Amino acid sequence: MVNQFLDKILRWLRWHKVLPHIKDGDTVCDIGCGPHAEFLKNISSKMEKGIGLDKRVEEKKEENIETKKILLENELPLADNSVDRVAMLAVLEHLDNHLELLKESKRILKPGGEILVTVPTHFNKPLGEFLAFKLKIIEAEQYLDHKRYYNKKELRRDLEKTGFEIIHLDYWEFGMNLFAKAKKPK
């Protein structure tokens, strides 16, 4: 029970880090939206359309939100230049082929469109593992599945290597996480 509560708080913090960067009328793709596409549901009145992609989500359309069940390692089922914003909140660290997903994100973004990314830092690893495995107050599965942790240089490198221009990059949550906002060139 405690771990679900803390996980919800951490998710809420990620959403509120990204929320100011979503513009009214945007088409937003939330990659790794989770089983209930909660972020998109919370911003549905602000956006024109939301697309949630995740291996755990049920495929459906409700009002202005469409969810698609996919493996994120595959090509994204969206047209080129079709979305204004891509949100990728605590996703990249779970993927073997994270650079391909960044390239796919760039492909689906409109020229000038933005990607909003949160990832854990190297400082997060010992604390997160302590909270998950010793205190058992956050979900252990998410830490078992981490393939990498980041610093600014590493996240900048991955975004630039896949063709993005960095707009903003900063540490938050006491240096435990990184937030990046980058754009697809026009």
Q: Round the average pLDDT of the chain to a whole number and report it.
A: 93
Has residue 169 been placed in a domain? yes
Q: What percent of the chain has pLDDT over 90?
A: 78
Indicate if the pLDDT at residue 2 is higher than 60: no
Has residue 162 been placed in a domain? yes
Indicate if the pLDDT at residue 11 is higher than 80: no
Has residue 173 been placed in a domain? yes
Indicate if the pLDDT at residue 175 is higher than 70: yes
Has residue 28 been placed in a domain? no
Question: Measuring CA to CA, how many Å separate 27 from each of 47, 70, 76, 109, 112?
Answer: 6, 19, 15, 10, 13
Given a contact cutoff of 8 angstroms between Cβ atoms, the answer to whether 72 and 65 are in contact is no
pLDDT tier at 1, thresholds 50, 70, 90: very low
pLDDT tier at 3, thresholds 50, 70, 90: low
**pLDDT for 88-137, tens place per residue?**
999 999 999 999 999 999 999 999 999 999 999 999 999 888 988 888 88
Has residue 27 been placed in a domain? no
**pLDDT for 36-53, tens place per residue?**
999 999 999 999 999 999
Question: What's the predicted TM-score (pTM) here?
Answer: 0.93
Indicate if the pLDDT at residue 10 is higher than 90: no
Has residue 72 been placed in a domain? yes
Has residue 61 been placed in a domain? yes
- Domain of 152 in residue numbering reads as 2-21+33-183
Question: How many structural domains are present in the chain?
Answer: 1
CATH number of the domain encompassing residue 58: 3.40.50.150
